């Protein structure tokens, strides 16, 4: 091949790589900062209409309904013998699952130095914090008399209530509190430089005051970066076992009981993988919406990111299928009478269609779509698969909790769970999650510009013989 | 002895900033009179600086130990403070596996809280006093603060400009 033609092909190849990969398509930092700030400030009337509708749903569905339930009692909920646990617990497990996405992307991908994570770590971390808030709301709803929540704490008291610190209830309280606090701190630490950037780029007003306070006086000195980076590394490694512990402990709430369908040694990892399945699904939904609706986000969030997350989703779906089958086959083969009745009830009971729908959206659809690079590079296709996975994972929890509770060893108590006030309350928590996320996206720089710039500095085109390849330096 | 002056030189790229650091050292500016602020983390080797000291790992470790002790006090101490120790089924009063869970969560919780606190302590956060700063830093520039004799201001300014400084000016503390 003529040298000119070769050179032209290489130049074309480089150009294509630049268009495809954010890390190879650098812009001046000032310009990137301006784009991030513009994305925060640019708001259309549609945004406020959606926010207003969500605010009404939150006010009525969550706060009013909860107020009514507090006034009238937990009898308004459908939980009753034999299904003492219903949608409140389903939602608690579901939201804790959603919250796993942020840590997975931000911590695990950081530890493994997966470069594609850089532009959307914060978008995922925000989901963790807001998701855990909804999990907290849901468990407090289930508690009924929420004003007595402090009875859980083991302090000397005159009520002669002696909480057992070794009980699974305490494991839950500790694990969820640890995870909520840890993930909020882990969200805040890398946000400090971006808050300082927002402070520097904001002229007066309440925003300036808020950014100034939240940036804590950060300037970017060598010492500040050093301490921040060390802390982020400690968090990245330490939060991973905490993340695993949270959903494992949630699974033990079920597995530690000797009930048909629940008593399983594989529930811990099965729940963790399920959490990652729904969490990654939720991340792509959020990224597709953020990319499609927020200004300048098409530069930061590209097809390559959906392609990479799509691959992860496919692997997680396969792992979930493996754990599901593993859990199923052992229970089925065991031949316990009540377990067999329950398994049959899952598949052929009045809600058996949910069992098949769960398998379809958690396994069949992801496998059918995500193997194809072109499809998994399309934000909306991956976003829809993510949405379906979340529907499937919610159904999975519904099957594990109230449907499984329907069948026990005392057949005269068998009756199907019919939710009551749980439905508006559940919709209210979903609306609150979306509303909080929307409002946060207008106040918090959703893209960590400094992490993107750092990644772009680390990427280079290098010539190996006749070929130009992309190399990544380790700057940390 | 001549009065000293604090100057600020702003660079767009790392290379000229690193050269400027070498030049300032050659001009006799002591290492501890040189300060760098940047919009992305630069490790010390990039600018030929000595390793910065950080207490964050030690504070984190201290937090882990404290968390373990608090957890131990709760799981081993509380049951015997009750009028009648709680016994679940045939489990011992202080069962091993559940105690491990509580110990793990409290160790991690207080360790992570301490790590977070460590950043605040080591970085003197929050601090809203006026400071020497230039907002260009958050747009990706690298700023070097250094002290020089007042009568040699021009010499230092010219040296920095020759190495590619976009601006060299007297550094003043201002509200952030």
> How confident is the model over B154-172, as pLDDT tens digits?
999 999 999 999 999 999 8
Residue B2 has pLDDT above 80, yes or no: no
* Residues of B in Cβ contact (< 8 Å) with A182: 108-109, 112
pLDDT score for B176: 85
Task: Decide if A69 is inside a domain.
Answer: no
pLDDT score for A89: 96
Cα–Cα distance, A423 to A415 (Å, whole number): 19
Of residues A174, A228, A454, nearest to B102 (C-beta): A174
Residue pairs spanning A and B at CB distance below 8 A: 188
Task: Decide if A430 is inside a domain.
Answer: no
Task: Decide if A333 is inside a domain.
Answer: yes
Residue B30 has pLDDT above 70, yes or no: yes
Cα–Cα distance, A407 to A413 (Å, whole number): 8
Give yes or no for a contact between A101 and A128, defined as CB atoms under 8 angstroms apart.
yes
Residue B47 has pLDDT above 60, yes or no: yes
Task: Decide if A355 is inside a domain.
Answer: yes
* Residues of B in Cβ contact (< 8 Å) with A228: 41, 119, 123
Give yes or no for a contact between A113 and A276, defined as CB atoms under 8 angstroms apart.
no
Number of domains in chain A: 1
Domain residue extents for chain B: 4-40+140-174, 56-123
pLDDT along chain A (476 residues), means of 10: 66 79 93 96 95 98 97 94 95 94 83 91 93 94 90 71 81 92 95 96 94 96 95 95 94 91 93 95 96 96 96 97 96 92 96 98 98 97 98 97 94 94 97 97 95 92 82 78
Cα–Cα distance, B65 to B171 (Å, whole number): 43
Q: How far is A264 from chain B (nearest CA, A)?
A: 17
* Rounded average pLDDT over B42-70: 92
Cβ–Cβ below 8 Å for A182 and B108: yes
Cβ–Cβ below 8 Å for B35 and A228: no
Report the percentage of chain B scoring pLDDT > 90: 70
* Rounded average pLDDT over B71-75: 92
* Residues of A in Cβ contact (< 8 Å) with B115: 185, 231, 234-235, 238
Task: Read off the CATH number of the domain in which A292 is found.
Answer: 1.20.1630.10
Q: How far is A470 from chain B (nearest CA, A)?
A: 21
Cβ–Cβ below 8 Å for A154 and B74: yes
Cβ–Cβ below 8 Å for A196 and B118: no
pLDDT score for B88: 80
Scan residues 34-73 of B and list those with Cβ closer than 8 Å to A. 35-44, 49, 52, 54, 56-57, 60
**What is the extent of the structural domain holding A355?**
7-43+78-419+442-472
User: Domain B4-40+140-174 falls in which CATH fold?
Assistant: Alpha-Beta Plaits (3.30.70)
Of residues A33, A165, A223, nearest to B78 (C-beta): A165
pLDDT score for A462: 84
Task: Decide if A136 is inside a domain.
Answer: yes
With 0-12 CB in 10 A as exposed, 13-18 as middle and 19+ as buried, what is A449? buried
Chain position carrying tokens 């500040």: A224
Cβ contacts of B94 within 8 Å, gap of 6 or more: A166, B75, B76, B79
pLDDT score for A419: 96
pLDDT score for A9: 66
Residue B1 has pLDDT above 60, yes or no: no
């Amino acid at each position: 091949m003529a040298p000119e033609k070769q050179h032209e092909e290489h130049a074309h190849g480089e150009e294509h790589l630049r268009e495809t990969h954010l890390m190879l398509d650098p812009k001046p930092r000032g310009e990137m900062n301006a784009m991030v700030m513009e994305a925060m400030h640019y708001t259309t009337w549609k945004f406020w209409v959606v926010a207003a509708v969500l605010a009404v749903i939150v006010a009525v569905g969550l706060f009013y309904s909860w107020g009514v339930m507090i006034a009238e009692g937990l009898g308004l909920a459908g939980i009753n013998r034999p299904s003492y646990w219903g949608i409140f617990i389903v939602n608690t497990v579901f939201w804790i699952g959603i919250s796993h996405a942020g840590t997975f992307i931000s911590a695990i991908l950081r530890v493994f130095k997966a470069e594609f994570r850089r532009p959307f770590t914060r978008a995922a971390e925000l989901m963790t914090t807001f998701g855990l808030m909804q999990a907290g709301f849901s468990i407090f709803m289930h508690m009924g008399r929420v004003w007595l929540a402090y009875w859980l704490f083991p302090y000397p008291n005159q009520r002669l209530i002696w909480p057992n610190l070794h009980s699974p209830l305490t494991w839950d309280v500790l694990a969820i509190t640890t995870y909520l606090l840890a993930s909020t701190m882990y969200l805040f630490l890398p946000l400090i430089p971006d808050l300082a950037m927002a402070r520097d780029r904001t002229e007066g007003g309440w925003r300036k005051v808020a950014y100034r306070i939240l940036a804590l006086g950060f300037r970017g000195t060598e010492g500040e970066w050093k301490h921040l980076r060390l802390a982020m590394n400690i968090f990245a490694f330490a939060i991973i076992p905490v993340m695993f512990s949270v959903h494992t402990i949630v699974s033990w709430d079920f597995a530690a009981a000797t009930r048909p369908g629940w008593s399983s040694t594989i529930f811990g990892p099965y729940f963790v993988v399920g959490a990652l399945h729904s969490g990654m699904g939720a991340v792509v939904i959020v990224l597709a919406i953020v990319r499609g609706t927020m200004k300048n986000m098409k530069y930061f969030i590209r097809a390559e990111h959906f392609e990479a997350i799509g691959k992860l989703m496919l692997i997680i779906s396969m792992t979930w299928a493996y754990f599901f089958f593993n859990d199923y086959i052992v229970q089925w083969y065991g031949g316990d009478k009540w377990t067999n009745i329950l398994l049959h009830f899952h598949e052929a009971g009045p809600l058996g269609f949910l069992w098949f729908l769960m398998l379809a959206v958690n396994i069949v659809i992801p496998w059918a779509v995500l193997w194809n690079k072109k499809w998994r590079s399309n934000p909306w296709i991956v976003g829809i698969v993510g949405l379906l996975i979340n529907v499937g994972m919610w159904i999975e929890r519904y099957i594990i909790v109230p449907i499984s509770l329907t069948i026990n060893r005392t057949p005269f108590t068998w009756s199907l769970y019919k939710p009551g006030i749980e439905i508006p309350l559940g919709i209210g928590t979903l609306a609150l999650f979306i509303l909080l996320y929307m409002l946060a996206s207008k106040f918090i720089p959703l893209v960590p510009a400094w992490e993107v710039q750092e990644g772009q500095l680390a990427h280079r085109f290098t010539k190996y013989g006749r070929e130009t390849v992309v190399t990544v330096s380790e700057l940390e | 002895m001549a009065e000293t002056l604090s100057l600020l030189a702003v660079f767009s790229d790392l290379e000229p900033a690193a050269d400027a650091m070498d030049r300032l050292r050659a001009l006799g500016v002591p290492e501890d009179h040189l300060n760098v602020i940047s919009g992305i983390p630069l490790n010390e080797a990039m600018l030929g600086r000595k390793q910065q000291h950080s207490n964050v790992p030690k504070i984190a470790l201290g937090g882990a130990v404290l968390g373990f002790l608090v957890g131990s006090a709760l799981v081993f101490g509380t049951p015997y403070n009750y009028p009648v120790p709680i016994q679940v089924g045939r489990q011992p009063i202080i069962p091993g596996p559940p105690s491990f869970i509580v110990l793990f969560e409290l160790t991690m919780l207080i360790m992570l809280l301490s790590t977070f606190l460590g950043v605040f302590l080591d970085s003197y956060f929050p601090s809203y006093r006026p400071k020497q700063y230039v907002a260009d830093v958050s747009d990706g520039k690298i700023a070097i603060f250094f002290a020089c004799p007042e009568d040699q201001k021009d010499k230092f300014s010219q040296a920095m400009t020759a190495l590619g400084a976009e601006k060299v000016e007297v550094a003043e503390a201002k509200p952030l």
